[in-house]
A and B are shown apart, each in its own frame.
Chain A
Amino acid sequence: MSNPQADPLLQVETTCGSLLYELQIIWDEVGESDAERDKMLLELEQECLEVYRRKVDVANRSRAQLRQAIADAEAELAAICSAMGERPVHIRQSDQNAESLKEELRRILPQLEEMRKRKSDRRNQFLEVQEQIQDISNEIYGSTQYISSKTVGDESDFSLRKLEELHRELHELQKEKSDRLRQVQDHLCTVNSLCSVLGVDFKQIVVEVHPSLGDSGGPKSISNGTIDQLDAAIRKLREVKLQRMQRLQDLASTMLELWNLMDTPIEEQQIFQAVTCNIAASEHEITEPNTLSVDFINYVEAEVSRLEELKASKMKELVLKKRSELEEFCRRTHMVPEIDSTMEDAIEAIETGAVDPACVLEQIELQIAKVKEEAFSRKELLERVEKWLAACDEESWLEEYNRDENRYNAGRGAHLTLKRAEKARALVNKLPAMVDALASKTAAWEEERGIEFTYDGIRVLSMLEEYTLLRQEKEQERRRQRDQKKLQGQLIAEQEALYGSKPSPSKTQNVKKAPRMSTGGTSSRRVSVGGAMLQTPKPDPLQSVKATPRPSRKSDRGHQNDQLNPQDDGFSVLSAGRRGLDIAGLPAKKHHSFGTANVREIESPMMRVPFSPISSTASSKANMANLLDDPSMTHSETLQKTLPNNNLQFTTPSKTNYMADEENKTPKALPIPVPTTPATVSVPMQTVTTPAPPPVSFGIKVVEEIPEEIEYSFEERRAGFVLPKTHMKSMIQV
């Protein structure tokens, strides 16, 4: 309590001692009793004690306060540290270091201060991050949904980990935001492309979803709602697109069908190329702007309806076209279309509007398909039939040839005729086998199909039968003739014995053709076959009387002609024509029986025996000399010779006959060719398979100059165009 070193205390001590002394003196003076004195002193001592006690109490209290302050500071410090997730820096050292309380407090306070500052910094950081999170969340979830509970948040945790967590959260949100932005952007792109394809206003659609999406620069709404709405918009647009695409493709296919049907010209089609090229495209392949706009679809629709109208108007035409196609096909395959009468009815019905032309068209198409199918099954047999018919032609030609008195005359082309005869004989030998094979094949075919195999409406089996009959009869005829010949020989011998001279053999000058199987005209076949059957065996009554069945090997030609009874005009003039041919020396001579076939069978030019080779010098020289470009120019002897060219129908020498037979069978239309009169009559071309012969005299001299120098066209000559020298060499090499 008393500090001996402290001066004031010492002074207090001294002052107390002196005061006590003074009191003693006073007392002595006063003469206080000792008891009184003791009492006073005790009082004094008690009072002093009281004062001491008070002071100690005060000091004690302040110490306690100090301790409290330190503890508080430490507690706060600890709290902050723990909040910040840091280890407290100051571990209580005061115990060891025996610091005074005040020092300790002084040491702690700045630390506390520092920590507080750091805490507030940290807090600010938190706030900042949370604010950002809040912002983004608002953007994403909409301002109402996300309650900012976290922002107010508990103060207890400001740790770095927490901060990191928040940062992470922020980062995620940012990522989500950018994802969404991209998503929105994607959606916008999709909407844009859809809109462009559909021809819809993009802005309008987008602004409807969210106004912010409309302006290109500013921030775009990325909320769930917006995205959902965008999604919905896209779905809607896509549905519309699909619908329209379906519509357009339907239109396109209709259009294609119509084009096909009506042979619409390419130029017209090209305009709608954009439509038809998408006909099989899937939805995502259609990206061209406006391909599905309402306007465009309407445009296409208009075109389709235009085509439909056109089709309706053309329907009849189409039906006719299809029908002629069908008939053409039938003709080519030698079938008889079974539809003639019904077709006429159908067409009439179309005209009156009673029947839907499409229906008829379909029907015809069905028929075409059927006929094609049948034709396929007929193909092999048909080839055989053709071959047989060709052989028959050769046979009849051969017969005719055999009857020709002059056949061995060494005229032009005689060697070729000989060659042909040789071939024909070989062919004729094979004929019976051919007929048998054909008959059995045909029978098999008929068996299999249960229908008759017809050729141009005539049953092939009956044709074959007729042919066999005819052949047999011919055989008989031949035998009879041989007998007659012999008989005649005897008669002549008798006459000679009587009168000493032989009758002129020229009495049978009029060489007649044996009726032959006509290969051409569809219905005339039956007639001509029948005709041949009737005609051939009809013998001269006189001769038949004389006929004796004595066979003779020799001279079976020439004299039999009288027995044949030609009824056809075409045939009656044949001999004259042939003679004309012979004089002209044309190679046509050997063709004349083919000529008939050629002309009649226009529908099968492919099957025709090609023009037999003509030696270019011989034939074309002859042609050059005799042929005229224009038969109507001069109706002279030369003309008559010229006409029976390779290609001529009948071997008639005069055009009038050909006309009568070929054109319309009415002689009144015979045009008599007059020079400079343009002809409407079709005239056969002067075809030659080989190119022109060497020099003929030309009206124009250009050609003749060709071999000597470089050729120039008239235009080059006129333009004065001359080949540069360097080119010349290569030219000549060529």
Chain B
Amino acid sequence: MTSVPSPAPGRELSNPPSDGISNIRFSNHTDHLLVSSWDKSVRLYDASANALRGEFFHGGPVLDCCFHDDSSGFSASADNTVRRLLFSSNKEDILGRHDAPVRCIEYSYAAGQLITGSWDKTLKCWDPRGASGQDRTLVGTYPQPERVYSLSLVGNRLVVATAGRHVNVYDLRNMSQPEQRRESSLKYQTRCVRCYPNGTGYALSSVEGRVAMEFFDLSEASQAKKYAFKCHRKTEAGRDIVYPVNAIAFHPVYGTFATGGCDGYVNVWDGNNKKRLYQYSKYPTSIAALSFSRDGRLLAVASSYTYEEGDKPHEPDAIYVRSVNEIEVKPKPKVYPNPLA
């Protein structure tokens, strides 16, 4: 174990979006990377080849995107539309609309449905197999207590985080009402929510440099395991500076996770052992989004000013793809005097 400072922040992708990056996602099958941006575009990169493979332009800033399969994806746009993107033909069509900008989008392989959350305080489920046109594709609309800020899926569970620190947990098989209605354990606005890959709970980050680790199981034993920790802070001249935690990404193999904050740092944590495993060297500006590739060997980092301090000059938006060393993400169990494993 050497603590040599990692020399580079990873390979920077050429042809980055020209404005803020709202989300980046690796495909489940290849090393393709889907990127949505405030420059009204969705771009498809081949991360391993560092090549731009497709570009789609929308009527408004794109706030989120996700893959359907390797030949198509979806995007959520600030022009209230939910769109389907066909990579092979570079065509797109409108799947439906919300009444306000669509903030986040997820595709559930379990339900075969697309789920979108919007600032119109609703969640909508879509069946992308239907012909285009709202009336054919819309499966249901589910009112939320507040504007939806973040969504995450694991299996049939859906976690919805909204303004006002509400957290609703749904079972996709019965969307009529939330399985659980919760309030965020953190005192400040929710930035990001991501489910554990093992499906037992979720991590939730706030604008105040904190991440809460929560569990679905409501039994006392399970709830006793929940906790919150501070991160992405620094002290400068005796003054504490606390940064928003914009992004959480779980490692698909080890279940450890990376967080990205407005301080430009990416930290890797081991939630079970309550340890920080690694900190990457500082990126030029805020970390807007993170994504591990399907095998966890690559980590895409969107270094892009997230507008936390309003309109101001900032570093150019960039996407870095770094190869992940096992030591950076593998949980470190205690050393056993009598090594078992």
Residues of A within 8 A of B (CB): 266-267, 270, 324, 327-328, 330-331, 337, 340, 457, 521-524, 599-600, 602-603, 605-606, 610-611, 623-624, 627-630, 632-633, 638, 647, 662-665, 669, 671, 676-689, 691-692, 696-703, 706, 711-719, 721, 723, 727, 731, 734
Contact = CB atoms under 8 A, between A and B. Distances in A.
Given A718-B20, A718-B38, A699 B242 contact: yes
Interface stretch (B47-55, B194-202, B325-333): B325-333
29 contacts: A327-B341, A337-B340, A457-B338, A521-B337, A523-B337, A611-B227, A629-B232, A630-B279, A663-B1, A663-B335, A676-B5, A677-B3, A678-B3, A679-B278, A681-B3, A682-B275, A682-B277, A682-B332, A684-B276, A687-B229, A696-B208, A702-B308, A713-B189, A714-B244, A716-B147, A718-B307, A719-B61, A721-B100, A727-B121
Given A696-B242, A721-B101, A523 B338 contact: yes
A662 B229 CA distance: 22
A632 B233 contact: no
Q: 9 closest Cβ contacts across the A-B interface? A: A699-B241, A685-B229, A682-B275, A629-B233, A683-B276, A671-B3, A718-B307, A687-B229, A691-B187
A715 B277 contact: no
Given A692-B208, A715-B22, A680 B2 contact: yes
A687 B229 CA distance: 4
Nearest to B191: A713
Given A692-B188, A721-B119, A522 B336 contact: yes
A629 B166 CA distance: 27
Given A678-B278, A682-B273, A683-B275, A731 B164 contact: yes
Interface size class of B (residues with CB under 8 A): 35 or more
A627 B333 CA distance: 24
B110 A266 contact: yes
A605 B272 contact: yes
A689 B274 CA distance: 13
Contact of B308 (A524, A647, A700): A700
Contacts of B275: 682-685
B228 interface: yes
Contacts of A692: 186-188, 208, 210
B308 A714 contact: yes
A678 B281 contact: yes
Contacts of A603: 333
Interface of B is mostly: loop
Given A662-B335, A718-B38, A700 B309 contact: yes
Contact of A602 (B78, B186, B229, B334): B334
Given A678-B281, A680-B328, A684-B276, A711 B307 contact: no
Given A678-B278, A696-B242, A714 B307 contact: yes
Contact of B279 (A600, A632, A698, A723): A632
Contact of B109 (A266, A678, A715): A266
B269 A714 contact: no
Nearest to A693: B187
Contact of B270 (A270, A669, A682, A711): A682
B228 A715 contact: no
Contact of A522 (B147, B166, B233, B338): B338
Interface in B72-125: 78, 100-101, 103, 109-110, 119, 121
B270 A629 contact: no
B273 to A, nearest CB: 6
A266 B3 CA distance: 38
Contact of A685 (B274, B278, B308, B336): B274
B339 to A, nearest CB: 10
Most A Cβ at <10 Å: residue of B5, B269, B278, B336: B336
A527 B68 CA distance: 57
Given A522-B336, A676-B281, A685 B5 contact: no
Contacts of A337: 340
A686 B230 contact: yes
B316 interface: no
A692 B209 CA distance: 10
B28 interface: yes
Contacts of B119: 716, 721
A664 B188 contact: no
B78 A662 contact: no
A678 B234 contact: no
Nearest to A664: B335
Contact of B163 (A701, A711, A714): A711
Nearest to B235: A628
Contacts of B336: 521-522
Contacts of B262: 699-700
Given A678-B5, A697-B240, A719 B327 contact: no
Interface string B250-276: 000000000000100100011011111
